[in-house]
Amino acid sequence: MPAAFDRFCRCDIGDSMSNLRHLHPTSVIAIDGGGTRCRLALITESQPVLIEGGSVNVTSNFDAAVRELSRGLAALAQKAGLTTSDLAALPTYAGLAGVMDQGMAQKVTAALPQTHIRVEDDRPAALRGALGTTDGVVAHCGTGSFIAAQVAGRTRFAGGWGAVLGDPTSAQWVGRRALTLTLEVVDGLRATSALSDRLLAKFTGCAGIVAFAATARPSDFGALAPAVTEHALTDDAIACKIMNEAAEDITALLPKLGWTPGMALCLTGGIGPHFAPYLPDSIAANVTAPQGEPLSGAFELAQMYRDELSNGT
């Protein structure tokens, strides 16, 4: 990875950058569009340019996602001192939340001004960013969750189906599970704990919990996850049960995706790293820090796409 991009990954968004008035043939655009934020980068032989915007999920709200992407591309052109037509001509890779199939990818492609663009879901960029070309598995546990493997040059993905149908071990799952177990305390099926007492006090009883859950978004459930990780550190029975359940789910999936001891295991997302102490020692010994972020993975995939275009493949 070029030193220029390494500097870009560490720079503040507000950094003053020189306008790029002459594009190098190797210039590409990388887009990492997630449910929380969207980052767009113009990477050239000179200094990269970064723009950050709001949520982009093309399944949850297609029109809003396209508007956010279009605004981001326009802002990227302005910041780089380019016309939008100059920017539209560059090879572009977009890893976007909510791209569930090729039909959705084609719909996004048709809605954006880019002449050459590859649209995929946001998992391949996250996998590439975390592992580079190394064999291993990424267990991403943020507001949502998925697990991805890269073994012997082949990639495989599981999960990422959203809060209603999936997302086990995610922050929203952790928060929702904490409320479920707290209601079991109310029913006399489980012993009370400091965590259940805290949640009952927060919502002023079981009726408040039910009312909250009726309208809560995944991010609202996810906001409860820090309370679980905090209480788990004090051996709270309910909190530890949740953390152990998540670790067991991750452990069970690893061999199904081809992971073997000695391969890297990256725990990413806001809550992912908190599961490491609850994994079996034989697995925890392989936990490694990710090599980079999803945007760096999107950059590498943008380079690969550019090379395919150059080679006519």
Query: Which pLDDT tens digit goes with each residue over 218-232?
Result: 989 999 999 999 999
Residue 34: what pLDDT? 85
Residues 123 and 198 in one domain: no
If asked whether residues 264 and 305 sit together in one domain, one would say no
Helices (H) and strands (E) in the chain, counts: 13, 9
CB atoms within 10 A of CB 282: 9
| Residue 86, domain CATH | 3.30.420.40
- pLDDT, residue 25, reads 65
What are the residues facing 11 on neighbouring strands? none
Confidence of residue 45 (pLDDT cuts 50, 70, 90): confident
Query: Is the same domain home to 216 and 163?
Result: yes
- Give the number of C-alpha atoms closer than 13 A to the C-alpha of residue 71, restricted to the C-beta side: 14
Residues 89 and 159 in one domain: no
pLDDT of residue 22: 45
- Among 4-8, 29-33, 179-183, 272-276, which is the least confidently predicted range? 4-8
Q: Are 122 and 34 in contact (CB under 8 A)?
A: yes
| pLDDT tier for residue 36 given thresholds of 50, 70 and 90 | confident
Structural domain total, the chain: 2
184-201, pLDDT tens digit by residue?
999 999 999 999 999 999
Please indicate, yes or no, whether residues 142 and 28 belong to a single structural domain of this protein: no
Sign of CA dihedral 83, 89, 91, 93: positive
More confident residue, 102 or 2: 102
Asked if 105 and 229 sit in the same domain, the reply is: no
Mean per-residue pLDDT for 203-212?
99
284 and 301 together in one domain: no
- pLDDT band for 14, please (50, 70, 90 cuts): very low
Helices marked H in 120-236: 123-131, 171-186, 194-202, 206-215, 218-222, 225-232
Answer yes or no: do 251 and 297 share one domain: no
Residue 16 has pLDDT above 80, yes or no: no
- The residue among 170, 163, 175, 169 whose CA lies nearest residue 238 is 175
More confident residue, 144 or 204: 204
Q: In this structure, are 93 and 140 located in the same domain?
A: no
The answer, yes or no, to whether residue 3 has pLDDT greater than 90, is no
Give residue 53's domain range: 3-128+293-311
Say which residue, 18 or 230, is predicted with more confidence: 230
